[in-house]
Amino acid sequence: MTSNSEMTGGEAIARVLKALEIGPMFGMGGFQLLPFYDAARRIGLNHNLINDERCAVFIADAYAKVTGRVGVCDATLGPGATNLVTGLVEALNAGSPLVVFVGDTHRGHSWKNMTQESRQTEILRPACKDLIRIEVAERIPELVRRAFAVATSGRPGPVIVDVPEDICHAELVFDMADLEADPVHAAAPAVRCRPAREDLERARDLLAEAQKPIMLCGGGVHISQAADEVQRLAEALNLPVAHTMTGKGAIACTSPLNAGLFGRYDRIANTLIEESDCILVAGCKLGEIATKRYSVPPAGKTLIHLDILAEEFDRTFPADLRLWGDVREGVRDLRLSLEARGSEIRSRQQGYADEVAKRMQTWRASVDERLTSTEVPINMARLMHELNQRLPAEGILVADGGFAAHWGGLLYDTKQAGRGFVPDRGFASIGYGLPGAMGAALGAPGRPVVGLTGDGGFNMTMGELETARRLGLPLTVIVVNNAASGYVKALQHLMYGAGSYQSSDLVEVNYADVAQSLGCRGIRVEAPDEISGALDSALSFREGPSVLDVVVTRDPAKMLPGVDNRAATVRKGDRVA
């Protein structure tokens, strides 16, 4: 016997989301979605007002990155919809599963100069994995379920559900059974596939015979939740592992097999890659930064590429062997196929593994002076060193898209396998630090969360401190205060010399005072010996957000963790986008 109920289209959407057991949802309402908002209140969806739609997507993106579950948000039509674009492209490029509901005009009045009307579906379509427009109200349950299935299959990504006003406000009868949904589709990967057996056998043979193999891991390792399998493979074979910024945590940075970041900035990894005779790339697109503008790895290397998205094969480097499938399943199958020879390979590779650990130890000693620097204003390396000392193994560092991500990628050490470092490198947008920390805190309650952002990035999104305070989120935001758009100023210094700065300076601001004026805890840090105490104080405060305003070097020659390789490229006559 079925149970029928009359409701609005907006309520039908809310009930399917409830059945999917979604997590916290953020949005800024408008008339088009009011029936959904009313239903969300009545049925108990965890929906929260945001101050800027871009931040709603950033929060959903970080929540998805940390949990693997679908991040959900909404926006009204017109400017609400167009404000989503930057965050959507971050999620699209990063492989974050999101479902985003966007209100649209009444179909009976479209193209009659309705308020805030635009060709929003045409604007949004290139910024998402799929765009589903609901044209028939009776299909709401089917199409909402479809959005979650697409978002969590293959390479995950953002799916937009475009909801015309008349669809959301329409009243119709639904069979309540049709509003049910399987929560399995609210997390990614919802389905998995394996590389072909013959390809795995060939990969097994290449790795078994290699004298100096190395594994390069990208963010796909975390999307696939494969870090534990990567660590098992590395330990089974004494296989060194290097990582991109998004791949940090593929194995613990404290593991003797960790070779650190590779690409534009590296510790020892680029040299190891140059010396290697077999490279296993897992869940990595081998983009510009990871390859030091396409110069790493050098030509002629034997390269095995494992990825869920076939389009990534040969995009930047030709692979000798392409393993098309889920990273976790592919790495697991490789490990199992090598079990019979595991002890032999591990023994043979012991000297190589010891050399990797020795090189890393030598590197750490070479940078110790900067890590423990007593400079005032504070050296960025000292700040990262203190974060390594104070943030516990279960902590999460969220890094904004500018030099915060580069410093974090190079110097921050995750102490266990898994996603403990969350940079927004899909699009590298500035402004992610605070909303990203909010999403991480919501996705991992109880775990210490620190957002690392520049003063420029914080200026863009500081209004969300009100949201974080309203929700009582116990997170810490570190504002790297150099009174500049630091990355741009550093590049101008590299390219044109000292004093050649244009539109890259900011006025001095005390962000601790800003935080306090918004009802949050604010601490200004001006000397290196103040960092540890300030971090301890902020991390122990569990009643709401804390902001550490850390005054760092104003010297543009010291703002980057190394020389940006693009400067050398430009001086050779090439253009930089």
> Are 293 and 181 part of one and the same domain?
no
Quick check: bond before 141 cis, omega within 30?
no
At 1, the pLDDT band (50, 70, 90 cuts) reads very low
> Are 346 and 421 part of one and the same domain?
no
At 566, the pLDDT band (50, 70, 90 cuts) reads low
Residue that terminates a domain, selected from 160, 186, 212:
186
In a domain, 64, yes or no: yes
pLDDT digits (tens, 9 = 90+) for 312-338: 999 999 999 999 999 999 999 999 999
Of 108-112, 178-182, 211-215, 221-225, least confident by mean pLDDT is: 108-112
> Are 297 and 217 part of one and the same domain?
yes
Q: Are 547 and 534 in contact (CB under 8 A)?
A: no
pLDDT value for 562: 72
Whole-angstrom distance, CA of residue 62 vs CA of residue 69: 10
Q: What is the mean pLDDT of residues 498-516?
A: 96
In a domain, 367, yes or no: no
Nearest to 67 by CA among 450, 440, 542: 440
At 574, the pLDDT band (50, 70, 90 cuts) reads very low
pLDDT value for 560: 86
565/36: higher pLDDT: 36
Residue that terminates a domain, selected from 358, 391, 419:
358
Q: Are 457 and 404 in contact (CB under 8 A)?
A: yes
Determine phi and psi for 522, rounding to 5 degrees. -130, 130
- What value, to the nearest 5°, has the Cα angle with vertex 210 and ends 208 and 212? 130
Full residue range of the structural domain in which residue 208 is found? 197-358
How high is the mean pLDDT of the chain? 95
pLDDT value for 402: 83
Q: Is the pLDDT of residue 125 over 70?
A: yes
> Are 299 and 161 part of one and the same domain?
no
Of 113-117, 178-182, 307-311, 565-569, least confident by mean pLDDT is: 565-569
Beta strands of 373-448 (E only): which ranges?
A: 396-399, 421-423
Q: What is the mean pLDDT of residues 222-234?
A: 98
Of 387-396, 491-500, 509-518, least confident by mean pLDDT is: 491-500
Whole-angstrom distance, CA of residue 523 vs CA of residue 371: 22
Q: What is the mean pLDDT of residues 416-431?
A: 96
Q: Is the pLDDT of residue 563 over 90?
A: no
Q: Are 439 and 249 in contact (CB under 8 A)?
A: no
> Are 27 and 142 part of one and the same domain?
yes
pLDDT value for 567: 55
CA 435 vs CA 424, 459, 473, 509, 576: distances in Å? 11, 12, 11, 20, 30
Question: Helices 53-67 and 85-94: crossing angle, nearest 10°?
Answer: 20
The identity of residue 402, as a single letter, is G
In a domain, 477, yes or no: yes
Q: Are 63 and 422 in contact (CB under 8 A)?
A: no
Determine phi and psi for 369, rounding to 5 degrees. -60, -35
Nearest to 61 by CA among 173, 231, 229, 222: 222
Whole-angstrom distance, CA of residue 493 vs CA of residue 497: 5
Q: What is the mean pLDDT of residues 242-270?
A: 97
Residue 383 CA, chain-centre distance (Å), reads: 22
Nearest to 318 by CA among 263, 277, 274, 279: 279
> Are 148 and 222 part of one and the same domain?
no
Q: What is the 3-state secondary structure (H, E, C) of 290-342?
A: CCCCCCCCCCCCCEEEEECCHHHCCCCCCCCEEEECCHHHHHHHHHHHCHHHH
> Are 210 and 251 part of one and the same domain?
yes
- What value, to the nearest 5°, has the Cα angle with vertex 306 and ends 304 and 309? 130
End-to-end CA distance of the chain: 63
The H or E element that residue 5 is part of is: strand 4-8
Report the share of the chain in percent with pLDDT over 90.
Answer: 93
Whole-angstrom distance, CA of residue 168 vs CA of residue 574: 52
The identity of residue 283, as a single letter, is G
The greatest distance separating any two alpha carbons of the chain, rounded to the nearest whole angstrom, comes to 79
Whole-angstrom distance, CA of residue 90 vs CA of residue 157: 9
Structure token digits, residue 571: 């001086």
Whole-angstrom distance, CA of residue 78 vs CA of residue 342: 58
pLDDT digits (tens, 9 = 90+) for 27-65: 999 999 999 999 999 999 999 999 999 999 999 999 999
In a domain, 576, yes or no: no
Q: Are 546 and 516 in contact (CB under 8 A)?
A: no
pLDDT value for 577: 26
DSSP structure class, residue 68? S
Residue that terminates a domain, selected from 154, 186, 218:
186
> Are 143 and 280 part of one and the same domain?
no
Scored b (16 or more CB within 10 A) or e, 526-547 reads eebebbeebbeebbebeebbbb
Q: Is the pLDDT of residue 257 over 70?
A: yes
> Are 402 and 493 part of one and the same domain?
yes
CATH number for position 137: 3.40.50.970
Of 157-161, 235-239, 443-447, 563-567, least confident by mean pLDDT is: 563-567
CB hemisphere CA count around 554 (13 angstroms): 11
pLDDT value for 112: 85
In a domain, 265, yes or no: yes
pLDDT value for 3: 87
pLDDT value for 564: 57
Q: Is the pLDDT of residue 353 over 60?
A: yes
Structure token digits, residue 575: 């253009």
Q: What is the mean pLDDT of residues 471-478?
A: 98
Residues 6 or more apart whose CB falls under 8 angstroms from that of 530 comprise: none
pLDDT value for 529: 98
Whole-angstrom distance, CA of residue 66 vs CA of residue 443: 6
In a domain, 424, yes or no: yes
In a domain, 136, yes or no: yes
Q: Is the pLDDT of residue 568 over 60?
A: no
pLDDT value for 561: 87
CATH number for position 274: 3.40.50.1220
Scored b (16 or more CB within 10 A) or e, 274-313 reads eebebbbbbbbbbbebbbbbeebbeeebbbbbbbbeeebb
Q: Is the pLDDT of residue 576 over 90?
A: no
The identity of residue 406, as a single letter, is H
Whole-angstrom distance, CA of residue 475 vs CA of residue 24: 16
In a domain, 577, yes or no: no
pLDDT digits (tens, 9 = 90+) for 63-87: 999 999 999 999 999 999 999 999 9
> Are 325 and 215 part of one and the same domain?
yes
At 571, the pLDDT band (50, 70, 90 cuts) reads very low
pLDDT value for 569: 52
Q: Are 367 and 381 in contact (CB under 8 A)?
A: yes
DSSP structure class, residue 454? E
> Are 116 and 227 part of one and the same domain?
no
pLDDT value for 113: 85
> Are 173 and 205 part of one and the same domain?
no
Determine phi and psi for 411, rounding to 5 degrees. -110, -20
**How buried is 189 (Cβ within 10 angstroms: 0-12 exposed, 13-18 middle, 19+ buried)?**
buried
Give the CA-trace dihedral at 350, 352, 354, 356, to 10 degrees: -150
Q: State the total domains in the chain.
A: 3
